[in-house]
């Protein structure tokens, strides 16, 4: 959610210290007001596309060319501003920002029960779905990274994240592509940025390497679980892929 240095926290949240606290500026309230007006129209479509659309139908190659061309810098700047303001962006926009100039292939991965168990043990969080939506990015014929969709319940409603990894399996960026909880509980971009460059280890936990998110504890926990789950899934799939090539 948006923040502004020097502005007092809202009376409802009170004065929060230590962890990152959601704070509302005048501009942020205006942006959120417009977002709420559009939310009823757009959010159902967003989740239908995120949940039921064929991932192969998205024009990711076009998105990659846009991000790599003259308009790329302007596009990425706009996307970064949207994320910092606590807004959602589409998968195409997130992929273009994560892998500028890359060609992107969408695929669906069906996990075996053994793969689900290994990933869950590695992540320390449940891996309940066997069907995974994944994107493979290549640049000049070389792997540029991968991105995974993770949709989960925050409190009573769903959030969908696109978690992009580099070629070595570290987090490049985390993008919120749909958020159905009240907008004040959405994690702000400055909090999500903590995940950049992170690998899966025992310190990747809220209140350890990741600062808490005051006023949105459930969002922080759900986001951290999603990142751990994706990193573990990627590690399992990469390890098995390397074994198959030998």
Q: Once rounded to an integer, what is the mean pLDDT over residues 103-128?
A: 97
pLDDT of residue 9: 42
pLDDT of residue 19: 58
Sign of CA dihedral 166, 171, 173, 178: positive
pLDDT at 80 exceeding the cut of 90: no
**β-strands 131-139, 103-110: how paired?**
antiparallel
**β-strands 103-110, 142-153: how paired?**
unpaired
Q: pLDDT confidence of 86, banded at 50, 70, 90?
A: low
Q: Once rounded to an integer, what is the mean pLDDT over residues 55-68?
A: 40
Q: Give the least confident one: 64-68, 99-103, 206-210, 218-222.
A: 64-68
Q: pLDDT confidence of 240, banded at 50, 70, 90?
A: confident
pLDDT of residue 87: 78
Q: pLDDT confidence of 241, banded at 50, 70, 90?
A: confident
pTM over 0.75: no
DSSP 8-state secondary structure symbol assigned to residue 170:
-
Average pLDDT, the chain: 77
Higher-pLDDT residue of 35, 100: 100
Sign of CA dihedral 191, 192, 193, 196: positive
């Amino acid at each position: 959610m948006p923040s502004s240095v020097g502005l007092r926290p809202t009376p409802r949240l009170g004065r929060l210290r230590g962890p990152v606290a959601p704070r509302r500026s005048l501009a942020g309230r205006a942006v959120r007001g417009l977002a709420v007006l559009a939310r009823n129209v757009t959010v159902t479509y967003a989740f239908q596309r995120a949940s039921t659309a064929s991932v192969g139908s998205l024009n990711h190659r076009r998105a990659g060319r846009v991000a790599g061309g003259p308009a790329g810098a302007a596009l990425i700047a706009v996307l970064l501003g949207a994320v910092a303001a606590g807004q959602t962006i589409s998968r195409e926009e997130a992929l273009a920002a994560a892998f500028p100039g890359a060609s992107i292939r969408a695929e669906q991965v069906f996990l075996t029960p053994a793969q689900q168990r290994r990933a869950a043990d590695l992540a320390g969080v449940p891996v309940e779905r066997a069907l995974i939506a994944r994107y493979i990015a290549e640049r000049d014929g070389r792997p540029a990274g991968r991105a995974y969709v993770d949709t989960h319940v925050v409190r009573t409603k769903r959030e969908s994240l696109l978690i992009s990894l580099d070629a070595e399996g570290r987090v490049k960026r985390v993008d919120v592509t749909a958020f159905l909880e009240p907008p004040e509980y959405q994690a702000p971009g400055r909090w999500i940025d903590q995940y950049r460059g992170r690998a899966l280890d025992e310190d990747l936990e809220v209140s350890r390497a990741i600062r808490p998110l005051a006023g949105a504890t459930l969002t922080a926990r759900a986001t951290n679980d999603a990142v751990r789950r994706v990193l573990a899934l990627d590690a399992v799939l990469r390890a098995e892929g390397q074994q198959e090539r030998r």
